[in-house]
Amino acid sequence: KLSRHRIDLLFDPARSSYWVNTDSPKGYVLERLLLQVDPRLEKATVSAEQIRYIDWLLPGILGMNMMFSCLFGVGYVVVRYRKNGFLKRLQATPLRAVEFIGAQVISRLILILAVSIFVFAGTNYFIHFRMEGSYLALLLVAVLGAICMIALGLLVAARATSEEFAGGVLNMITWPMMLLSGVWFSMEGANPIMRQAAQLLPLTHVLEAARAIMLDGAGLADVSRSLLILTAMTVVFIVGGTWLFRWRLE
């Protein structure tokens, strides 16, 4: 955090030393006050490039856009298919529920990735945001995150009979993700219960992995925990959606 210029001064009483953010006016004031207490303290400096808020915010905005596209795009389409009888006609074919769900995941994934890549490239052209890690690693996180949230949307739509009901359930899912997943602000200082609840949300792990890659240059091994959690969630959502899926309204 100090290297990112997110805190002003760090004091270690065990070593009688402190680290100060030399670019922060508050850090200078805190250093003067600290030395008034004990002038023998040893000073250490940390030099690094400052992370702008837009650099930290951008993964959250892209992730939120992906979340809405995945959940509402798939959820409404499947419910509409069920209402107008399209799924009922598909039931008369050899098509199985898992095949239909898989086709929905792939088709929606291609569209969402195309839009996300376009927005990512366009934003980078105008803002020139920070990108320390691998684009391929970031793409893998985006693919896995999109599949996970598409599968969640299909799980919601598996039994829904109307767009109104599906929309209500999807809003109950998206609003907690938008507030607790760290889209706009960090959850580090939040209540421990809220932080634990955030770990149950797919978007949390997408943003944690994306920010680690973009801001810290993390590799796939460094974000493996987030990738494994997203994979497990995806399997649960797809299995649940396939088991609950019905072709007809009744």
Rounded CA-CA distance 61/54 in Å is: 10
| Number of structural domains the chain divides into | 2
Tell me if 2 is assigned to some domain.
no
Query: Same domain, yes or no, for 22 and 130?
Result: no
pLDDT confidence of residue 64: 92
Rounded CA-CA distance 230/215 in Å is: 21
Would you call 12 helix, strand, or coil by DSSP? strand
Tell me if 61 is assigned to some domain.
yes
Query: Same domain, yes or no, for 15 and 102?
Result: no
Q: What is the pLDDT of residues 164-215, one digit of tens each?
A: 888 888 889 998 898 888 888 888 777 888 889 889 999 999 999 999 999 8
pLDDT confidence of residue 209: 94
Query: Same domain, yes or no, for 76 and 171?
Result: yes
Q: What is the pLDDT of residues 205-220, one digit of tens each?
A: 999 999 999 988 888 9
Q: Which tokens is 120 given?
A: 């990512």
Is the separation of the CB atoms in 250 and 164 below 8 Å? no
Tell me if 232 is assigned to some domain.
yes
Domain that holds residue 25: 9-45
Query: Same domain, yes or no, for 102 and 161?
Result: yes
Q: Find the DSSP H helices in the chain.
A: 25-37, 53-83, 86-91, 97-127, 135-157, 163-180, 192-198, 202-216, 224-244
Q: Which residues of the chain have pLDDT under 50?
A: 1-3, 5
Rounded CA-CA distance 213/220 in Å is: 8
